[in-house]
């Protein structure tokens, strides 16, 4: 099956020097890329009745085993309420279970259920398609360069964002 092309609702590089998005080609490019990538990821995940973000939780839990809810919040770098909402949906869908910690009564331990473990196969398939779409047309050197540049930009923005 051919990978669908997601049409842009706005041009890649808006013209003009009026201070609009075209004046910020890197930031606007990242915005467009992130939006397009997330849209395609959501489309792939819908095939398996998953919401964006749930696949990250499934992959983390499959890789690391049971985690406290606080650990997941820290690993994801998201707000507690955002993670709690996603876990609530996943629990309702039977993908995860939450139980009280044996060592800390305040902590909830999150683990994959059998259905969650089975869902991991679907998540991996969706992310494989997403990864292939993301690097289509790039040679090995371009892919390595892109990975390096993404790390540099992410580190730079994260460092500046933490500076008061």
Per-residue pLDDT of 32-80, as tens digits, reads 999 999 999 999 999 999 999 999 999 999 999 999 999 999 999 899 9
Judge contact between 130 and 44, C-beta under 8 A.
Answer: yes
Q: Which of 17-31, 46-60, 77-91 has the lowest mean pLDDT?
A: 17-31
Quick one: residue 14, left, alpha or beta (phi over 0 = left, psi -120 to 50 = alpha)?
beta
The arithmetic mean of pLDDT across residues 95-108, rounded, is 91
d(CA 20, CA 17): 7
Q: Which two tokens stand for residue 90?
A: 């996943």
d(CA 27, CA 72): 28
Q: Which of 5-9, 16-20, 110-114 has the lowest mean pLDDT?
A: 5-9
Top-confidence residue, 81 or 7: 81
Angle, helix 25-46 to helix 54-64, in steps of 10 degrees: 80
The structural domains of the chain, with segments of one domain joined by +, span 27-162
Helix (H), strand (E), coil (C) string for 113-156: CHHHHHHHHHHHHHHHHHHHHHHCCCCHHHHHHHHHHHHHHHHH
CB neighbours of residue 86 within 10 Å: 20
Judge contact between 118 and 54, C-beta under 8 A.
Answer: no
Judge contact between 40 and 6, C-beta under 8 A.
Answer: yes
Judge contact between 23 and 17, C-beta under 8 A.
Answer: yes
Protein fold of 27-162: Arc Repressor Mutant, subunit A (1.10.10)
CA angle 83, 80, 110 (to 5 degrees): 55
Q: In sequence order, what are the beta bridge partners of 110?
A: 67, 98
For residue 20, name the pLDDT band (cuts at 50, 70, 90).
confident
Q: In sequence order, what are the beta bridge partners of 108?
A: 100
* Residues of the chain above pLDDT 70, percent: 88
- Considering the entire predicted model, what is its pTM? 0.80
The arithmetic mean of pLDDT across residues 20-27, rounded, is 88
The arithmetic mean of pLDDT across residues 24-39, rounded, is 94
Q: In sequence order, what are the beta bridge partners of 68?
A: 109
């Amino acid at each position: 099956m051919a990978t669908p092309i997601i049409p842009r609702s706005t041009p890649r590089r808006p013209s003009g020097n009026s201070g609009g998005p075209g004046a910020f080609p890197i930031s606007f490019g990242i915005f467009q890329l992130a939006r397009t990538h997330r849209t395609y990821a959501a489309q792939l995940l819908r095939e398996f009745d998953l919401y964006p973000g749930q696949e990250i939780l499934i992959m983390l839990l499959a890789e690391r085993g049971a985690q406290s809810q606080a650990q997941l919040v820290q690993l994801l770098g998201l707000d507690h309420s955002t993670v709690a909402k996603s876990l609530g949906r996943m629990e309702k869908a039977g993908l995860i279970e939450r139980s009280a910690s044996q060592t800390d009564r305040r902590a909830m331990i999150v683990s994959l259920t059998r259905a969650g473990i089975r869902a991991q196969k679907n998540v991996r398939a969706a992310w494989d398609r997403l990864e292939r779409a993301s690097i289509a047309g790039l040679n090995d050197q371009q892919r390595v360069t892109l990975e390096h540049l993404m790390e540099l930009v992410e580190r730079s923005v994260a460092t500046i964002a933490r500076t008061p």
